[in-house]
């Protein structure tokens, strides 16, 4: 992709916008862009520099993203709205063409990284509450003040304001090569080659360590699961990022929006979408934070599509889709008969959110009931019945900081919790035909 129309190749020390920004380290990349930690010589602060691929369709997408981000940043002077702030934007000419660049406030690790770091055990509910309050603050701002639908809300697109692991803090590691730099050489001899070599060495050492550990366990021994990590000291304030797919509610962009697992039922059956579609993704994200697992992981199978499996998983966890809702979309006839039953997946294993939380995820009865009471309305099949972000912010669950005995996976005093297996996703799985 580093060719004409593609990504712009960046070397550490490269400068942008007439020398204002100096690239320090790669932070991430997406389909359309690479994102760099850069030093802003004007404000003396670190920023995130998003450099778009140069071909016209990517430039067009970047212009749209800049338009949305500008509206967000203009309306948010207090900078307390839990949405990433656009600091600057400009064009950069390189060998592969003209690249639109966005300068964003520098943020830390994504919630996906946090979930992984916590070894997929689910976060303590008080932390889930805090993160949920941030996300809802962002959605309330986008929806009711600006009229913007994010359309791709998921843990990957929500970044913590701080980093999880200070020893891996990009600012810290960006500082160390600066110290080693011989004077007068902005690159300090730190070429991509050298960095790549170092990374490869590190990977080899990690592999060696793992096989050592395996060997010391008597070869092929079962590796005991590691406990969840302690998150004390990590500030869980976060902000919503990636407005590459966002749209104005009165100008929907595409029929198919959202990442599969976070996709709302009205998007699947194509009955029209608006702000409630973001609320659905929020519900799935809250579930994932609390349990460590995605709420729905649909797969196609013999005689049914991924969409049909998705709808079946939803109904197994949340109850039957009301007939009127099921039959009201442009694609309804592909999935449902006229009674609102799935045509090709006939036998569903009906469960409930509360039961999944106690049985599969070992929540105490009280935690499960309260969390399910918060989530269930957000996951209403009828988008018009879903509460708005503003209404959710009023919910008692968000403001009840309970003393938590339960820590997921640790049954503790709650000795009479029913333990049973359960399939993928939300803990249910439907027995398939043939």
241 binds ligand ADP (CB under 6 A): yes
**Shortest distance in whole angstroms from residue 157 CB to Mg ion:** 6
| Binding partner selected for residue 84 from ligand ADP, Mg ion, none, CB under the kind-specific 5 to 8 Å limit | ligand ADP
The stretch among 98-106, 219-227, 254-262, 291-299 that binds ligand ADP (CB under 6 A) is 98-106
The torsion angles phi and psi of 260, rounded to 5 degrees, stand at: -35, -60
Rule CB under 6 A: choose which of 23, 69, 84, 153 binds ligand ADP: 84
242 binds ligand ADP (CB under 6 A): yes
Q: State whether residue 35 is helix, strand or coil.
A: strand
- Give the number of C-alpha atoms closer than 13 A to the C-alpha of residue 400, restricted to the C-beta side: 12
Rule CB under 6 A: choose which of 21, 46, 58, 106 binds ligand ADP: 106
354 binds ligand ADP (CB under 6 A): no
Residues 6+ apart with CB under 8 A from 6: 53, 54, 55, 96
- The answer to whether 83 and 153 are in contact (CB under 8 A) is no
Compute the distance between CA of residue 241 and CA of residue 69 in angstroms, rounded to an integer.
10
**Shortest distance in whole angstroms from residue 92 CB to ligand ADP:** 16
> Could you tell me if residue 49 is left (phi over 0), alpha (psi between -120 and 50 degrees) or otherwise beta?
beta
Judged by beta carbon, residue 30 or residue 409, the one nearer Mg ion is 30
**Identified catalytic residue from 152, 309, 359, 380:** 152
50 is in an annotated binding site: yes
| Binding partner selected for residue 422 from Mg ion, ligand ADP, none, CB under the kind-specific 5 to 8 Å limit | none
180 membership: H or E segment, kind and range: helix 170-180
Judged by beta carbon, residue 34 or residue 429, the one nearer ligand ADP is 34
Q: Closest residue to ligand ADP, Cβ-based?
A: 30
| Binding partner selected for residue 107 from Mg ion, ligand ADP, none, CB under the kind-specific 5 to 8 Å limit | ligand ADP
**Shortest distance in whole angstroms from residue 126 CB to Mg ion:** 28
- Counting other chains too, the contacts that 12-18 makes at CB distance below 8 Å and 24 or more residues apart are 12/177, 12/187, 12/190, 12/192, 12/195, 13/186, 13/187, 13/188, 13/190, 15/186, 16/49, 16/90, 16/92, 16/101, 17/88, 17/90, 17/92, 17/101
**Shortest distance in whole angstroms from residue 278 CB to ligand ADP:** 16
- The answer to whether 117 and 226 are in contact (CB under 8 A) is no
**Shortest distance in whole angstroms from residue 241 CB to Mg ion:** 8
Please indicate whether residue 152 is annotated as part of the active site.
yes
Residues 26-65 that bind ligand ADP (CB under 6 A): 27-33, 35, 48, 50
Compute the distance between CA of residue 206 and CA of residue 395 in angstroms, rounded to an integer.
45
118 binds ligand ADP (CB under 6 A): no
By annotation, the residues acting in catalysis are: 152
**Interface with ligand ADP (CB under 6 A):** 27-33, 35, 48, 50, 84, 104-107, 156, 159, 241-242, 244
Binding residue numbers: 50
């Amino acid at each position: 992709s580093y060719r004409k129309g593609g990504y712009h190749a960046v070397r550490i020390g490269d400068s942008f916008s007439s020398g204002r920004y100096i690239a320090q380290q790669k932070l991430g990349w997406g389909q359309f862009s690479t994102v760099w930690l850069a030093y802003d010589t004007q404000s003396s602060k670190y920023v995130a520099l998003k450099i778009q691929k140069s071909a016209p369709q990517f430039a067009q997408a970047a212009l749209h993203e800049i338009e949305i981000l500008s509206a967000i940043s203009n309306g948010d002077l207090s900078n307390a709205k839990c949405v990433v702030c656009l600091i600057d934007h400009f064009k950069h000419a390189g060998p592969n063409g003209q690249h639109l660049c966005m300068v964003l406030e520098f943020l830390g690790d994504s919630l996906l990284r946090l979930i992984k770091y916590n070894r997929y055990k689910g976060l303590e509910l008080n932390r889930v509450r805090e993160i949920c309050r941030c996300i809802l603050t962002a959605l309330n701002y986008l929806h009711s003040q600006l009229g913007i639908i994010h359309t791709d809300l998921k843990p990957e697109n929500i970044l913590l304001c701080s980093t999880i692991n200070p020893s891996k803090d990009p600012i810290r590691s960006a500082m160390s090569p600066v110290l080693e730099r011989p004077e007068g050489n902005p690159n300090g001899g730190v070429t991509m080659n050298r960095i790549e070599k170092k990374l490869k060495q590190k990977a080899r050492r990690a592999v060696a360590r793992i096989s050592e550990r395996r060997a010391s366990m008597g070869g092929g021994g079962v590796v005991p699961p590691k406990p969840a990590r302690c998150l004390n000291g990590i500030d869980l304030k976060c902000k919503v990022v990636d407005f590459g797919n966002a749209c104005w509610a009165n100008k929907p962009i595409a029929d198919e929006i959202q990442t599969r697992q976070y996709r709302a039922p009205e998007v699947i059956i194509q009955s029209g979408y608006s702000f409630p579609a973001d609320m659905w993704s929020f519900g799935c994200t809250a579930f994932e934070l609390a349990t460590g697992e995605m709420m729905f992981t649909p797969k196609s199978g013999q005689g049914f599509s991924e969409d049909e499996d998705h709808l079946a998983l939803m109904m197994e966890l949340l109850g039957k889709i009301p007939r009127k809702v099921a039959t009201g979309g442009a694609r309804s006839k592909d999935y449902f008969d006229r009674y609102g039953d799935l045509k090709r997946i006939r036998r569903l294993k009906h469960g409930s959110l509360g039961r999944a939380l106690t049985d599969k995820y070992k929540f105490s009865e009280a935690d499960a009931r309260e969390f399910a009471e918060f989530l269930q309305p957000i996951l209403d099949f009828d988008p018009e019945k879903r509460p708005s972000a503003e209404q959710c912010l009023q919910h008692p669950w968000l403001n009840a900081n309970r003393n938590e005995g339960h820590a997921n996976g640790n049954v503790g005093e709650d000795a009479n919790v029913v333990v049973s297996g359960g399939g993928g996703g939300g803990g249910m799985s439907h027995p398939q035909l043939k």
